[in-house]
Structure 1
Amino acid sequence: MIILVGYATVEGQTRKIADAVAAAIEKAGHRALLLDVTSGGEYAVAHPEAAILCAPVHAARYPAAFASFVGQEVSWLNSVPSAFVSVSLLIRSEFEEEQEEARQYPDALLAESGWRPGLVHHAAGALRYTEYDFFKRWIIRRMAEYENAPTDVSRDHEFTDWQALSAFVQAFLDEAKA
Structure 2
Amino acid sequence: MEKVLLLHSSSDGQTIKIMRHIEKTLGEGYQCELADLNQLPAVSFEQYDRILIGASIRYGHLNKKLYQFINQNLPALEQHKVGFFCVNLTARKEGKNTPETSAYMKKFRQKSPWQPGLQAVFAGALRYPRYKWFDRVMIQFIMRITGGETDTSKEVEYTDWQKVEAFAAQFKAY
TM-score by length of 2: 0.85
Shift of the 78–45 alpha-carbon distance from structure 1 to 2, 3 Å rule, reads closer
- What is the CA-CA distance between 1:156 and the residue it aligns to? 1.7
Question: For the Cα contact (< 8 Å) 1:22–1:33, is it kept in 2?
Answer: no
Match of 1:59 in 2: 59
Shift of the 16–102 alpha-carbon distance from structure 1 to 2, 3 Å rule, reads farther
Match of 2:93 in 1: 93
Question: For the Cα contact (< 8 Å) 1:9–1:15, is it kept in 2?
Answer: yes
Q: 1:140 and 1:46 mapped to 2: Cα distance?
A: 40
Question: For the Cα contact (< 8 Å) 2:45–2:76, is it kept in 1?
Answer: no
Residues matched between the structures, number: 172
Is 1:81 equivalent to 2:70 in the alignment?
Answer: no
Question: For the Cα contact (< 8 Å) 1:21–1:169, is it kept in 2?
Answer: yes
Q: 2:3 and 2:30 mapped to 1: Cα distance?
A: 6
Secondary structure in 2 matching 1:38: helix
Q: 1:28 and 1:115 mapped to 2: Cα distance?
A: 30
Match of 1:9 in 2: 10
**Which consecutive residues of structure 1, in runs of 5 or more, have no partner in the other structure?**
none
Identity percentage over the alignment? 27
Question: For the Cα contact (< 8 Å) 1:86–1:122, is it kept in 2?
Answer: yes
**Which consecutive residues of structure 2, in runs of 5 or more, have no partner in the other structure?**
none
TM-score by length of 1: 0.83
Q: 2:104 and 2:147 mapped to 1: Cα distance?
A: 22
4+ aligned runs moved over 3 Å, structure 1:
40-43, 98-102, 107-113, 145-148
Q: 2:83 and 2:102 mapped to 1: Cα distance?
A: 15
Moved more, 135-144 or 85-94: 135-144
Secondary structure in 2 matching 1:152: coil
Is 1:116 equivalent to 2:115 in the alignment?
Answer: yes
Secondary structure in 2 matching 1:168: helix
**Which has the larger share of helix?**
1
Question: For the Cα contact (< 8 Å) 1:24–1:169, is it kept in 2?
Answer: yes
- What is the CA-CA distance between 1:105 and the residue it aligns to? 1.9
Question: For the Cα contact (< 8 Å) 2:91–2:123, is it kept in 1?
Answer: yes
**Which has the larger share of strand?**
2
Question: For the Cα contact (< 8 Å) 2:97–2:122, is it kept in 1?
Answer: no
Is 1:18 equivalent to 2:19 in the alignment?
Answer: yes
